[in-house]
């Protein structure tokens, strides 16, 4: 294969909602470029892109797939991405390395909520977009409505380069207002017949041509001057203006295709090669330290790993983009993220499961490597004396939780290894081995996302697993001051055990004054602080421990044992066994025995005194609260609001955003179990949401009563 330079390389993300036709378009592009001799079909389970067994079984893309084709002596790397929000991670990692996105719109559905979500990520990555209206041959296709919705969501940056002459089952022609020609296809698509625009289309074509000329001229001062002088631009000048507009995201050109019939794909590929930006046209990328990483073949070698997969017979395959310089087979690079050396023994360019071995790749290109020791997704590898590190890809917060366990306990270790491998492939799957909840908690983007993971465990890793309802990581705290004492005394021949502890506890708040005086009924207690330990608890909040012993009633050597006992109880709160937090403890008195006192005695005394005081301090259970944002079509607003209120949600705001209604709410995590499934049912799959941890808040009284009863019942069962 030819070694392509940055001014010969295009990196394209195929993005769009599920069902928009990305995988079918992929087949056409591979076929037209000669990479395959026959187009595959999703129904026949023989597409190059969806080659994984689960994708063929489901009939949809689950993973992003790296591919390439060659066209007009240029190389187009393109990545087919999943359309379902459950697999948004594949879209995000793809946008991190693409220089242009092809946003496919289903002409039957127009702009869907998935289009809006993906469009947001494209905006975040500043990815230039070309809009492609697909499925114009469908009987329910509506081009005008699709464009109208696109303008509502993406503004007047939407500019037609093509429009269809005959939408529907008879679709076979488009007018191209850049070329000012009409393209016609036979029933099998492929190479078009290029003819003059019919008389009945002339006026419309001229009007749209003028709009395109103006849009192209607006992006460059010289072109604008030419436009004012000449009244128009020639085709080359228009291409230059469109290209500048695309790069600046000030212009989103629109093309028309039927990927199923291979109509319009050649012309789209021609536009990609002639007009969309090359890697050499794009601004330099920034390292984490703000240094420019220029796409320069003569620069130091640097590559960024954006995707990991596991392939049969090969093992772990790492997909990378060459940021700078030249990467060659058998080259040694430094993994800057891990500070370790890696040798790239084998290099490939990839078209789905088909891999072509190459000796080297140049800045801007995308390739794959195998058998690397320490390298994972988000790692940057550099040549010697280069210390660039690319900012890691930021994946969205998880919004679906479930617990998982191996049916056979003997598979526990095997399950752990498999889950870690799955996380390497899909970083949006998070695994937490929760000591607190005594569960393995999986978090992801939705129920389908988790079911896909389970399919892999069952079918690829051969581990029989089951999902369980995830427990909620409640917290416990106190709401008022309390005091208690406890004497631990044990005598059983020889030296015994003796320790007595007096302590006061109260709620901790940042910035509160140091303790000096407390009154309990008629009794007053003065406090003299001798020492203070502040402990930031791993699960959030603080424990502040004060030594207020005067007169030597307890030796200082026993204070750490008292603290240890308190910490043990904080790790298993007195109410429900959940972690406790935000408490300060003043140990102010006690007694010891010259022979029988030891560390274990004071540990037990401290634990029991703290436990008693905790229960007398009006304890409360805290629950995790999440900030939730829901994008929903207006027709479903009432139903979604009603459902939210049934989940103890506090609605914080409502607004309109890009043609959708946005609901912002605070919702307890306990009420969000399987919400993605419920929302899909309520809105027929037309809404999406995101959620992010916000804070811990006290549960309502009735909820606390139920939780206490459930914990007591659980404790009884364990006896």
Predicted confidence at residue 158, as pLDDT, reads: 97
Indicate whether 52 and 156 sit together in one domain. yes
Indicate whether 497 and 559 sit together in one domain. yes
Residues 250, 197: Cα–Cα separation, whole Å: 28
Residues 397, 399: Cα–Cα separation, whole Å: 6
Residue 250 lies in a domain: yes
Predicted confidence at residue 215, as pLDDT, reads: 93
- CATH for 98: 3.40.50.300
Question: Kind and range of the H or E element at 150?
Answer: helix 143-154
Indicate whether 538 and 557 sit together in one domain. yes
Residue 491 pLDDT level (bands cut at 50, 70, 90): confident
Stretch 654-666: mean pLDDT: 88
pLDDT tens digits for range 89-106: 999 999 999 999 999 999
CB atoms within 10 A of CB 68: 27
Predicted confidence at residue 400, as pLDDT, reads: 94
Residues 290, 318: Cα–Cα separation, whole Å: 25
Among 569, 596, 618, residue at a domain's last position: 618
Residue 552 lies in a domain: yes
Stretch 358-376: mean pLDDT: 95
Torsion angle of alpha carbons 694, 696, 697, 698, nearest 10°? 160
- Angle between helical axes of 221-230 and 199-217 (0-180°, round to 10): 140
Residue 302 lies in a domain: yes
Residue 391 lies in a domain: no
Stretch 219-246: mean pLDDT: 90
Q: Give me Rg for the CA atoms of the chain.
A: 32
Residues 566, 553: Cα–Cα separation, whole Å: 19
Residue 714 lies in a domain: no
Q: What are φ and ψ of residue 444, in 5° steps?
A: -160, -155
Indicate whether 457 and 498 sit together in one domain. no
* Residue 654 structure tokens: 């409502």
Indicate whether 103 and 68 sit together in one domain. yes
Among 253, 281, 309, residue at a domain's last position: 281
Which residues face 251 on adjacent strands?
Answer: none
Residues 349, 334: Cα–Cα separation, whole Å: 22
Residue 568 lies in a domain: yes
CB atoms within 10 A of CB 458: 12
CB 75 within 8 Å of CB 64: no
Q: What are φ and ψ of residue 456, in 5° steps?
A: -65, -45
Indicate whether 241 and 308 sit together in one domain. no
Q: What is the DSSP letter of 623?
A: E
Predicted confidence at residue 371, as pLDDT, reads: 87
Predicted confidence at residue 660, as pLDDT, reads: 83
- Report whether pLDDT(717) > 80: no
- Report whether pLDDT(493) > 70: no
Angle at the Cα of 585 (from 582 to 587), degrees rounded to 5? 175
Q: Percent of the chain beyond pLDDT 90?
A: 85
Residues 312, 395: Cα–Cα separation, whole Å: 27
- CATH for 375: 2.40.30.10
Q: Which residue has the higher pLDDT, 657 or 25?
A: 25
pLDDT tens digits for range 561-606: 999 999 999 999 889 999 999 999 999 999 999 888 999 999 999 9
Q: Is 649 in a helix, a strand, or coil?
A: coil
Indicate whether 584 and 486 sit together in one domain. yes
Mean residue pLDDT across the chain: 94
Is beta strand 9-16 parallel, antiparallel or unpaired with respect to 74-80? Answer: parallel
Residues 100, 126: Cα–Cα separation, whole Å: 9
Stretch 278-290: mean pLDDT: 94
Indicate whether 173 and 268 sit together in one domain. yes
CB 615 within 8 Å of CB 681: no
End-to-end CA distance of the chain: 70
Q: Percent of the chain beyond pLDDT 70?
A: 99
Residue 710 lies in a domain: no
pTM, rounded to two decimals = 0.88
Indicate whether 331 and 443 sit together in one domain. no
Q: Which residue has the higher pLDDT, 659 or 672?
A: 672
Residue 206 pLDDT level (bands cut at 50, 70, 90): very high
- CATH for 423: 3.30.70.870
Indicate whether 236 and 89 sit together in one domain. yes
- Report whether pLDDT(226) > 90: no
Residue 719 pLDDT level (bands cut at 50, 70, 90): low
Residue 556 lies in a domain: yes
* Residue 415 structure tokens: 């399950």
Indicate whether 94 and 179 sit together in one domain. yes
Predicted confidence at residue 230, as pLDDT, reads: 83
Angle at the Cα of 111 (from 426 to 218), degrees rounded to 5? 100
- Report whether pLDDT(363) > 80: yes
* Residue 641 structure tokens: 């609001």
Domain that holds residue 78: 6-281
Predicted confidence at residue 188, as pLDDT, reads: 86
How many folded domains does the chain comprise? 5
275 burial type by CB count under 10 A (0-12 exposed, 13-18 middle, 19+ buried):
buried
Predicted confidence at residue 220, as pLDDT, reads: 84
Is beta strand 475-477 parallel, antiparallel or unpaired with respect to 579-580? Answer: parallel
Among 599, 618, 637, residue at a domain's last position: 618
Indicate whether 509 and 633 sit together in one domain. no
Residues 348, 325: Cα–Cα separation, whole Å: 17
Stretch 296-319: mean pLDDT: 92
pLDDT tens digits for range 171-196: 999 999 999 999 999 998 989 999 99
Tell which residue, 693, 692, 691, has the closest CA to residue 676.
691
- The string of DSSP letters for 435-457 reads TTTTEEEEEES-HHHHHHHHHHH
Predicted confidence at residue 552, as pLDDT, reads: 87
């Amino acid at each position: 294969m030819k070694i392509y330079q940055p001014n010969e390389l295009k990196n394209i993300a195929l993005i769009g909602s599920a069902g928009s036709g990305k995988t079918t378009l992929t087949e056409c592009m591979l076929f037209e470029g000669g990479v395959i001799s026959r187009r595959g079909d999703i129904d026949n389970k023989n597409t190059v892109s969806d080659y994984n067994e689960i994708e063929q079984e489901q009939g949809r893309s689950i993973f992003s797939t790296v591919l390439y084709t060659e066209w007009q002596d240029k190389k187009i790397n393109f990545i087919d991405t999943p359309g379902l929000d459950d697999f948004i991670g594949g879209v995000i990692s793809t946008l991190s390395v693409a220089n242009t996105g092809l946003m496919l719109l289903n002409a039957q559905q127009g702009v869907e909520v998935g289009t809006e979500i993906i469009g947001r990520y494209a905006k975040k990555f500043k990815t230039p977009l070309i809009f492609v209206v697909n499925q114009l041959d469908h009987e329910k296709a509506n081009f005008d409505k699709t464009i109208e919705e696109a303008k509502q969501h993406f503004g007047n940056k939407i500019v037609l380069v093509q429009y269809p002459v005959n939408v529907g089952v008879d679709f076979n022609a488009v007018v191209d207002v850049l070329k000012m020609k009409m393209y016609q296809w036979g029933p099998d698509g492929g190479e078009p017949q290029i003819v003059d625009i019919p008389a009945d289309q002339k006026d419309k074509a001229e009007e749209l041509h003028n709009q395109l000329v103006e849009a192209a001229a607006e992006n460059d001062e010289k072109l604008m001057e030419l436009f004012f002088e000449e009244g128009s631009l020639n085709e080359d000048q228009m291409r230059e203006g469109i290209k500048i507009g695309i790069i600046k995201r000030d212009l989103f050109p629109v093309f028309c295709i039927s990927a199923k019939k291979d109509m319009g794909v050649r012309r789209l590929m021609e536009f990609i090669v002639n007009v969309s930006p090359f890697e050499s046209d794009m601004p330099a990328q920034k390292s984490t330290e703000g240094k420019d990483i220029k796409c320069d073949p003569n620069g130091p070698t640097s590559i960024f790993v954006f995707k990991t997969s596991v392939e049969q017979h090969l093992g772990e395959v790492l997909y990378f983009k060459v940021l700078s310089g030249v990467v060659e087979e058998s080259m040694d690079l430094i993994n800057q993220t891990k500070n370790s050396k890696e040798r790239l023994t084998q290099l490939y360019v990839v078209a789905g499961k088909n891999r072509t071995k190459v000796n080297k790749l140049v800045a801007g290109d995308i390739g794959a490597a195998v058998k690397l020791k320490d390298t994972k997704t988000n790692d940057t590898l550099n040549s010697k004396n280069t210390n660039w590190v690319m900012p890691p890809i930021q994946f969205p917060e998880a919004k679906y939780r479930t617990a998982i366990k191996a049916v056979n306990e003997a598979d526990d270790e095997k399950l752990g290894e498999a889950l870690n491998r799955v996380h390497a492939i899909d970083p949006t799957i998070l695994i937490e081995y929760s000591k607190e909840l005594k569960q393995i908690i999986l978090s992801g983007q939705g129920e389908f996302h988790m079911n896909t993971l389970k399919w892999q465990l069952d079918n690829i890793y051969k581990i029989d697993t089951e999902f369980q309802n995830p427990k909620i990581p409640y917290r416990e705290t106190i709401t008022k001051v309390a005091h208690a004492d406890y004497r631990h005394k044990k005598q059983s021949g020889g030296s015994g055990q003796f320790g007595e502890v007096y302590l006061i506890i109260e709620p901790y708040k940042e910035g509160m004054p140091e303790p000096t005086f407390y009154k309990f009924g008629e009794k007053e207690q003065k406090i003299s602080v001798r020492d203070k330990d502040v402990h930031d608890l791993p699960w959030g909040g603080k424990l502040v421990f004060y030594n207020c012993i005067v007169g030597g009633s307890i030796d200082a050597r026993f204070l750490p044992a008292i603290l240890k006992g308190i910490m043990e109880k904080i790790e298993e709160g007195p109410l429900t066994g959940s972690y406790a937090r935000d408490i300060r403890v003043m140990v102010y008195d006690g007694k010891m025995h010259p022979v029988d006192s030891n560390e274990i005695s004071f540990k037990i005394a401290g634990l029991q005194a703290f436990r008693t005081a905790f229960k007398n301090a009006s304890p409360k259970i805290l629950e995790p609260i999440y900030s939730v944002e829901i994008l929903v079509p207006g027709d479903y607003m009432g139903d979604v609001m009603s459902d939210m209120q049934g989940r103890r949600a506090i609605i914080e705001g409502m607004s309109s955003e890009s043609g959708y209604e946005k609901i912002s709410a605070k919702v307890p995590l306990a009420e969000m179990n399987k919400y993605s499934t419920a929302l899909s049912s309520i809105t027929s799959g037309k809404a999406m949401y995101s959620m992010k941890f916000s804070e811990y808040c006290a549960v309502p009284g009735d909820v606390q009563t139920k939780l206490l009863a459930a914990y007591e019942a659980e404790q009884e069962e364990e006896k």
